[in-house]
Amino acid sequence: MTLALCSILTGAGAASVRGATVTATAEADLEVQRTTVSSPASASAAAGASFTMRVDVTLKNNGPFGPVDAPVDFTLEVPADCATEPDGPFQTVTVSLEVDTAVPVSAAWSVSCSGSGARNFGGTATALAGTDDYSDPNNDNNFGESAASMTITPPVDTGRLRWSADDRTGRDVCLPIRAVSQCVGYGRALRGTGRNAAGDSG
């Protein structure tokens, strides 16, 4: 005699079949739909100065089981002369996902680089079935990666700058001892501090 048992799993549970206990594990298909690496809007920063790099994803639960707690492992790859805070390339963020719901998830690092020039950064995100309550039947759509570039400018020698009151605005302005470009670069780092640099629009 042949016994055929067919079932569609929509939740976890256990059933008894002729004295034997069969444990059913719920399934939730987690999908990483979009991954981006975001640098500051200016796409540049001075050597030694801190700036924020983010890895952002859109994560969806395709079901059939939900809601589920879904951890996302993030990584940020930085050049050899750059340091990150938190220290290390890994972060894990856990979100709750209803069925057929997509939510944004992100991780951020504070980064500083000692050298100057073009720098490339890479980010990844991996969604994981986070508990024993469910499994993911399709791991092929759990991963995303992206990249971004930044220009690291040389540090400004502030010892070659002096400050003077601007008679028109009453604000302090930077007057270069040697080159206007020194004040321009320094002024970009001073936005929002109440001081303007000569030649800088901001």
- Per-residue pLDDT of 164-174, as tens digits, reads 555 455 555 55
86 and 167, same domain (yes or no): no
**What DSSP element (H or E) covers 59?**
strand 51-64
Q: Are 150 and 121 in contact (CB under 8 A)?
A: yes
pLDDT in tens, 110-152: 999 999 999 999 999 999 976 678 999 999 999 999 999 999 9
128 and 70 both lie in a single domain = yes
Is 22 part of any domain?
A: no
Mean pLDDT, range 64-76, rounded to an integer: 95
The mean of the pLDDT values for the chain is 77
3-state secondary structure of 185: helix
8-12, 147-151, 155-159: lowest mean pLDDT where? 8-12
77 and 146 together in one domain: yes
| pLDDT value for 124 | 97
Instruction: Work out the pLDDT band at 14, boundaries 50, 70, 90.
Output: very low
pLDDT bin (cut points 50, 70, 90) of residue 56 is: very high
Residue 108 pLDDT exceeds 70: yes
Query: How far apart are the C-alpha atoms of 136 and 141, rounded to whole Å?
Result: 10
* Distance, CA of 116 to CA of 186 (rounded, Å): 15
CATH code, domain with 41: 2.60.40.10
* Residue 185, in any domain of the structure: yes
Q: In 24-99, which ranges are continuous DSSP H helix?
A: none
17 within a domain of the structure (yes/no): no
Question: Same domain, yes or no, for 146 and 180?
Answer: no
Tell me the residue range of the domain where 51 lies.
28-153
CA–CA dist 111, 76 (Å, integer): 10
Residue 13 within any structural domain of the chain: no
Structural domain includes residue 202:
no
Domain count, the chain: 2
State residue 97's pLDDT score: 94
